[in-house]
Chains A and B, each alone.
Chain A
Amino acid sequence: MATPTKYPTAPLKCWPKAKEIREQYYKDYAQAHERGGIRWSGGAWAFDAVPMGLGDDVHVMTGEPYAASIAWDRKFAQECQDATDARGWSRDLCSYMRIYWGSMYLNRFHFGGEFPKPNFYYQSQICCSHSKWDQEASLYENVPYFCIDVCVGPYETLDEGRVNYVVNQLHDSVEGMEKVTGRKYDDEKLIAAVHNECRSTSLWAEICTLNKAIPAPLDEKTMFSLYVLATLQRSSKKVADFYEELRDEVKDRVARGIAAVPYERCRIITDTQPPWGFLKIYRYMEQFGVVSIGSVYTFGLEGIFAEQEDGSWGPRKTPQQLGIKINTRDEALRITADWNLSRPCWQHFYDPRIKTRMMLKMVNEWKLDGVILHLNRGCEGLTVGSMENRLGLIEAGVPVMTYEGNMADEKEFDERRTVSRIDSFMETLGLKQIPEAVALHAA
Chain B
Amino acid sequence: MITTGIDVGAKTVKVVLMEDGKIRGKAKVLSGFDQEESAKAALDQALVEAGLSREAIGIIITTGNGRKAISFAKGDVTEPRAAALGAVFLYPAARTVIDVGAEESRAIKCDANGRVLDFAVNEKCAAGSGAFTEAMARALEVPLEELGPLSLKATQSIPMNAQCAVFAESEVISLIHSKTEKADIARAVHDGLSSRVVAMVRRVGLNTELVLIGGVAHNPGFVESFKRTVGLDDVRTAAEPDFVGAIGAALAAAE
Interface residues in chain A, defined as those with a beta carbon under 8 Å from any beta carbon in chain B: 375, 377, 394, 400, 402, 404, 412, 416-417, 420-421, 423-424, 427-428
Contact = CB atoms under 8 A, between A and B. Distances in A.
Nearest 8 CB-CB pairings of A with B: A424-B78, A424-B80, A423-B78, A404-B123, A427-B81, A428-B116, A427-B78, A424-B119
A402 B106 CA distance: 13
Contacts of B78: 420, 423-424, 427
A106 to B, nearest CB: 27
Given A404-B123, A423-B78, A424-B80, A394 B116 contact: no
A398 to B, nearest CB: 11
Chain A binding surface, main DSSP class: helix
Contact of A394 (B77, B80, B118): B118
A412 B116 contact: no
B125 to A, nearest CB: 9
Contacts of B116: 424, 427-428
B82 to A, nearest CB: 10
Contacts of B81: 424, 427
Given A420-B79, A423-B78, A428 B123 contact: no
A375 B126 CA distance: 14
A377 B121 contact: no
Interface residues of B, number: 16
18 contacts: A377-B124, A400-B118, A402-B120, A404-B123, A417-B104, A417-B121, A420-B78, A420-B79, A421-B121, A423-B78, A424-B78, A424-B79, A424-B81, A424-B116, A427-B80, A427-B81, A428-B117, A428-B119
Contacts, number: 32
Interface string B116-140: 1111110110000000000000000
Interface of B: 65, 77-81, 104, 115-121, 123-124
Contacts of B121: 417, 421
Contact of B77 (A377, A400, A421, A427): A427
Nearest to A414: B124
A427 B67 CA distance: 15
A87 B159 CA distance: 34
Nearest to A428: B116
